[in-house]
Copies of this chain bind each other. A is one copy, B any other.
Amino acid sequence: MYKDLNTTLDDYCKKIEDHLLSFTADKPALRSIVYEAMEYSLMAGGKRLRPVLMLEFCRMCGGDPDKYLDLACTIEMIHTFSLIHDDLPCMDDDDFRRGKPSCHKAFPESIALLAGDALNTLPFEVISENALNGVIDPRTAVMLVSVLSKAVGCEGMIGGQVIDLMSEGKDISVEDLNELQSHKTGALIEAACVMGVILAGKYNMIAHAAAYASALGRAFQIVDDILDVTSTFEELGKPIGSDVQQHKCTYVSALGLDRAYIEAQKLTSEALSILDSFEDNGFLQELTSKLLNRRS
């Protein structure tokens, strides 16, 4: 079934984006603007890494990913909610996201806030609907709600955003940086992989999926931090040194560029070796390596 990385990735992305669009297709009168804002941010690009991971873990564990496209969208909704709220003036105050005006620039700030709120709630509606419709059984739904809500809340992504805010302008240790990253970006990547395994009902593989996600999540964040620095330097036409210092606490500011890259390589190898526990893992092997060497 697996041909090559890009064909498989494009195929997944097309299915995911078609399904994402279906959630905002009806735009009821008087409140249509919030559906437009949700759709604007849901469709503003992105790698769709999290839903792809969910579907692929489901497939590797013997499940049929095509049955669970709605459920794969739940993790992208949460990711999108976090981006909308992160960009707000009281947070990072970013006017642009992926080269387009951020949600609160394309819509009133109040509507962006509420679109984010709605995308925080909608996943739980989708999971429960899929149980009421018989796509998944109630026990599976409860596990999905548990994993997803923990990954979002104060012990997950939101907690990570708080640690990030509280660390601003401070030098923090690599341990605290790991704590920050494992909450802010790691928790949702882990939830994606674990939810895929749960959908396939192969509970003995949950710990392996979580371990893979933990290594991948950290490698992904380190590469993000490296790209932030190198693209800035490339834009400025300056040489890239390993002694780069930034105001933000990142793996590059904590480890330096060279050690950060070595750490990302080490974590990628670790993720790849954990993948060996899964059958038919060719696509994810290739995707994992590609994420290490990505340029954006």
Contact = CB atoms under 8 A, between A and B. Distances in A.
Nearest to A38: B154
A148 B123 CA distance: 12
Given A141-B138, A142-B138, A149 B166 contact: no
Given A114-B158, A158-B114, A121 B90 contact: no
Contact of A153 (B89, B111, B122): B122
Interface in A203-221: none
A91 B120 contact: no
A258 interface: no
Contacts of A180: 30
A12 to B, nearest CB: 26
B153 A145 contact: no
A31 B110 contact: no
Interface in A117-171: 117-118, 120-122, 124-125, 127-129, 131-132, 137-139, 141-143, 145-146, 148-150, 152-155, 158-159, 161-163, 165-167
Interface of A: 28, 30-31, 33-35, 38, 81, 85, 88-91, 104, 108-111, 113-114, 116-118, 120-122, 124-125, 127-129, 131-132, 137-139, 141-143, 145-146, 148-150, 152-155, 158-159, 161-163, 165-167, 176, 179-180, 183
